[in-house]
Structure 1
Amino acid sequence: MTTRILIAGGGYVGLYTALRLQRRLRRGEAEVTVVNPENYMVYRPLLPEVASGTLEPRHAVVPLRAVLRGSRFIAGRLTGIDTERKVASVAPTAGPWLELDYDELVIGLGATSKLAPVPGLAETGIGFNSLAEAAHLRDHVLRQLEIASATTDTELRKRALTFVFVGGGYTGVEAIAELQDMAIDVLAGYPELDAGEMRWVLVEAMDRILTTVSRELADRAMTELTGRGIDIRLGTQLESVEEGELRLSDGSKFFADTLVWVAGTRPQTVVGELGLPVDGRGRLVVDQAMRVEGHPGIWAAGDCAGVPDPETGRVSPPTAQHAVRQAEQLGDNLVATLRGEWPRPFRYRSRGEFVTLGKNKAVGEAFGREFDGALAWTLRRGYYATQIPTWNRTIRVLGDWLVGMPFGHDVVNFGSREEPRGAFEEAAGRSRVG
């Protein structure tokens, strides 16, 4: 009987595992099914550039149906598993719930924002973990510039031009850098505003930003950001945000209409509801070959799993580089298991790190060398353009970048897409009145 492989999640782990299986499986050797709520995978390293408008949102995603033609795709969410019957419960986007039989199950459900118990955060904060959030944040920043340029109220203007990001990891640093760069660039279209009126604040609880890269690289990024006027508060936490007033643990308080929460992630809630072993951070406990402890036939990788690094003894960092390599090794391990061979442990040493800080601005280290400025920016873009699956997407991303290089950022705010029926409903209301 043909082996049934079910992959829950269509992010890095799901996509790259399925791609590996498509390349390595013999005809009829296994049936692969991928379940994911959206029919695309978001290439997360490109989200900061989606937020700054230097990349078209559609080009930062990979259409799953188009690239996984050798697999069955179901738009839906994993809701539970019966490990004894080897059946997974799935809630599809539409229609009745499904029960899918499996012989091998891969869990790559990724992570979601990890919110702290800060009063007002859930009602006020903006996340930065999805394509929709990145596009929304760009529109939001441009809308704040419109508000500030149109008002004569000094306090309202100051509040609109204050942008606070909580979390100094990769996402927080790249997001604040790209958006501040965009905001300054578009000010030529706002003669009523001055760059000195804008206030950009990065709040980080640790004693340094970018804790997953070398201190030297983190220090260079911090020097660049502070040199551009970004206020970095180290060893500081957000204590509350109520009625627009932010209070920080260093005693400062001020009003702001923009609060971006990028202070870490956690596994999806369903991961802890599957009846599988998890660690103190809610990640699935797996061995070096990415097999879930005590459950033969179930595998996990990426942000929802604590994949051990045999060289350091610690859990592999939650980076795109590691997730992709874990997925490829997981795919090889599945093929090996099907053919009666032993799976291999995951081993990977980072090839380097790059941090984008805006247009023509970045810092990085690779091949034992350090880079900054336009060279680091170019190397980073070249790397990610070649890593995104399919030449179709690579060409689209490169096209966006090449077309945008000679020009400034676009000031168009598509905030109306958040209420696409607004104009129609307004017209309908007028018709009823008439």
Structure 2
Amino acid sequence: MPKILIVGGGYAGFYTAWKLEKWLRPGEAEVTMVDPLPYMTYQPFLPEVAAGSIDPRHSVVAHRRHLKKTNVLTAKVTNVNHAEKKATITPPVGEPWVFDYDIVVVTAGAVSRTFPIPGVADQAIGLKTVEEAVAIRDKVLTNFDKAAQLPAGPERDRLLTFVVIGGGFAGIEVFAELRSFASSLLTKYPQIAFEDTHFHLIEAMGRIMPEVSEKTALWVIKNLAERGAEVHLNTQLTSAVDGKIELSTGESFESDLIVWTAGVMANPGVVRNTDLPIEERGRLRVRPDLRVGTEDEIIEGAWGAGDITAVPDLSGGGVGGFCVPNAQHAVRQGKLMAKNIVAVLRGEGPAEYNHKNLGAVAGLGVGVGAFQSGKFAITGFPAWVAHRGYHGLAMPSWERKIRVVAGWVLNVFLGRDIVSLEAVQTPRAVFEEFASRPKPPAAAPAAAPAAAVKAPRAPRKAPVKKPVEVAAAESGTETVAAP
């Protein structure tokens, strides 16, 4: 029975395994999926997680709950030697071991791409994981708690100044969602006025959201400005040391929260440790049918999809001739790849991936959105409804759909939860503070210095009694004899 190894459990990897379970016959192949996390994150929901509109656990899909026939390993693949069809699997506990496979599917996704700007590595946070989204939410809430107790001044301004770097879809969505979140918090913090909160988005290019028309992008900028959020176009971040933001325009201010969304890159932990072909931008080279290789060469037994790959965009709508790294492509590629793998196993030919972008939809805070499909665009509340409707349906499994939609409905009546759980990052702090500890052993008395040690005295002899006359003669005294 051929062994199929799926490297990565994100969109493409999860959907590949999910559909292979559906389409493979019993005993036709053995599927193993390896990912360092035990869940798939639905990344379009991360801005709403950061704004408290979606429960963090509802934005992820547990691998083991929904992949019932797949061998799920929570570990890392640290090397793929396709020449020998061996992969090195490194678990979180224990020694690395070698996994022999017949077919490898590389879907390890992407990570945040940063530049060597001073302070970014130490001060900024990305938006690629649910853990990052939760940390952003807790930081906003904690900063409101702190600022409410401070008088007006530099420290209060720093706590209430929020910065997002990058004006793509992810950046604009989290920026707008955080502005909406902060505005909703003002009713709970009467000590803080709307004018006390400051939001800045830094974009190096001359426009935001390249997936939508310029008219729609300008509407978004205008809407954000009306809500008290400033967008800096044609502006670069030059420094973020100790939270002090310095821009290429000469402007500077301090911030306690810097969110980095300025691009992604193929997962370096995989592409740098494989003998599979990598193109000039560091992505796995993939054919239109999702087999690894070029037009002239096919690497047998190797497949790839998602953000880690350079998949040719046959629709003509991609950037540089390749599909853009987004969830819309990754999900569809995963489904097609599962179909193609089954087809090849049965001696049939694979189909090519050709998907024309249906459009782009963004949530910009509760009740506000933007939608673009071709030349057709809608903004405001109808676009927000379209955003939630599309992503609510796109969330994998009915179990997850119900949880997400139920949360949205409850928020209408109960509002967003505004409890910060920032202390969860140091969960043992309180326990350690009050925990009883054994008393240290009593210290032994210090030894005296060598120079002060006296030589031991010789034992004293018992005195010898002498006759009275002798004793008197030795002492020179006169003795009177006793009567």
TM-score with structure 1 length normalisation?
0.96
Q: Which residue of 2 aligns with 1:338?
A: 345
Quote the offset at 1:352 in angstroms: 2.2
- Aligned to 1:302, the other structure's residue is in SS state coil
Counterpart contact for 1:212–1:317, Cα < 8 Å: no
Matches of 1:147 and 1:130, distance apart in 2: 26
Pair 1:432–1:192, CA change in 2 (3 A): farther
> Which amino acid letter does the alignment assign opposite residue 175 of structure 2?
I
Matches of 2:438 and 2:179, distance apart in 1: 43
Q: Which residue of 2 aligns with 1:379?
A: 386
Pair 1:215–1:362, CA change in 2 (3 A): same
Q: Which residue of 1 aligns with 2:303?
A: 299
Matches of 1:116 and 1:212, distance apart in 2: 23
> Percent identity, aligned pairs only?
39
- Aligned to 1:296, the other structure's residue is in SS state strand
Pair 1:406–1:367, CA change in 2 (3 A): farther
Q: Which residue of 1 aligns with 2:79?
A: 80
Farther-moved stretch of structure 1 (250-259 vs 135-144): 250-259
Quote the offset at 1:22 in angstroms: 1.2
Q: Which residue of 1 aligns with 2:201?
A: 202
Farther-moved stretch of structure 1 (333-342 vs 394-403): 333-342
Farther-moved stretch of structure 1 (148-157 vs 58-67): 148-157
Farther-moved stretch of structure 1 (308-317 vs 256-265): 308-317
Matches of 2:31 and 2:336, distance apart in 1: 17
Q: Which residue of 2 aligns with 1:15?
A: 14
Q: Which residue of 2 aligns with 1:311?
A: 315
Counterpart contact for 1:200–1:231, Cα < 8 Å: yes
- Aligned to 2:135, the other structure's residue is in SS state helix
Counterpart contact for 2:157–2:196, Cα < 8 Å: yes
Number of residues of Structure 1 aligned to a counterpart in Structure 2: 432
Q: 2:425 aligns with which of 418, 421, 429?
A: 418
Quote the offset at 1:222 in angstroms: 2.0
Q: Which residue of 1 aligns with 2:281?
A: 281
Matches of 2:180 and 2:414, distance apart in 1: 14
Q: Which residue of 1 aligns with 2:464?
A: none
Q: Which residue of 1 aligns with 2:462?
A: none
> Which amino acid letter does the alignment assign opposite residue 416 of structure 1?
A
> Which amino acid letter does the alignment assign opposite residue 361 of structure 2?
F
In the TM superposition, structure 1's runs of 4+ consecutive aligned residues that sit over 3 Å from their partners are 366-369, 429-433
Instruction: Spell out, residue by residue over 1:90-111, the C-alpha distance to the aligned partner (whole angstroms, 9 max, x if none).
Output: 1123222221111111000011
- Aligned to 1:273, the other structure's residue is in SS state coil
Gap runs ≥5 in structure 1: none
Instruction: Spell out, residue by residue over 1:274-315, the C-alpha distance to the aligned partner (whole angstroms, 9 max, x if none).
Output: 122222321111111122225221111111001011232711
Q: Which residue of 2 aligns with 1:362?
A: 369
> Which amino acid letter does the alignment assign opposite residue 372 of structure 2?
E
Matches of 1:30 and 1:83, distance apart in 2: 19
Counterpart contact for 1:352–1:367, Cα < 8 Å: yes
- Aligned to 2:335, the other structure's residue is in SS state helix
Matches of 1:305 and 1:94, distance apart in 2: 29
> Which amino acid letter does the alignment assign opposite residue 342 of structure 1?
G
Matches of 2:177 and 2:335, distance apart in 1: 31
| Mapping 1:14-53, distance limit 5 Å | 14-53=13-52
Counterpart contact for 1:111–1:304, Cα < 8 Å: yes
Q: 2:328 aligns with which of 306, 321, 325?
A: 321
> Which amino acid letter does the alignment assign opposite residue 291 of structure 1?
R
> Which amino acid letter does the alignment assign opposite residue 286 of structure 1?
V
> Which amino acid letter does the alignment assign opposite residue 320 of structure 1?
A
TM-score with structure 2 length normalisation?
0.86
Matches of 1:397 and 1:134, distance apart in 2: 16
Quote the offset at 1:386 in angstroms: 1.4
Farther-moved stretch of structure 1 (377-386 vs 8-17): 377-386
Matches of 2:74 and 2:428, distance apart in 1: 25
CA RMSD of aligned residues (A): 1.7
Quote the offset at 1:268 in angstroms: 1.2
Quote the offset at 1:149 in angstroms: 1.1
Pair 1:360–1:421, CA change in 2 (3 A): same
- Aligned to 2:95, the other structure's residue is in SS state coil
Quote the offset at 1:368 in angstroms: 6.4
| Mapping 1:150-165, distance limit 5 Å | 150-152=149-151, 154-165=153-164
Matches of 1:211 and 1:280, distance apart in 2: 23
Counterpart contact for 2:10–2:109, Cα < 8 Å: yes
Quote the offset at 1:223 in angstroms: 2.3
Instruction: Spell out, residue by residue over 1:209-245, the C-alpha distance to the aligned partner (whole angstroms, 9 max, x if none).
Output: 1123333332232222122121111111100112321
Instruction: Spell out, residue by residue over 1:345-370, the C-alpha distance to the aligned partner (whole angstroms, 9 max, x if none).
Output: 11001222110000111111348642
> Which amino acid letter does the alignment assign opposite residue 292 of structure 1?
V
Q: Which residue of 2 aligns with 1:114?
A: 113
Counterpart contact for 2:50–2:133, Cα < 8 Å: yes
Matches of 2:380 and 2:436, distance apart in 1: 53
Q: Which residue of 2 aligns with 1:234?
A: 233
Matches of 1:62 and 1:302, distance apart in 2: 17
Counterpart contact for 1:167–1:202, Cα < 8 Å: yes
Matches of 2:421 and 2:311, distance apart in 1: 40
Farther-moved stretch of structure 1 (206-215 vs 114-123): 206-215
The structure that has the greater radius of gyration is 2
Counterpart contact for 1:356–1:362, Cα < 8 Å: yes
Matches of 1:286 and 1:46, distance apart in 2: 28
Matches of 1:430 and 1:211, distance apart in 2: 59
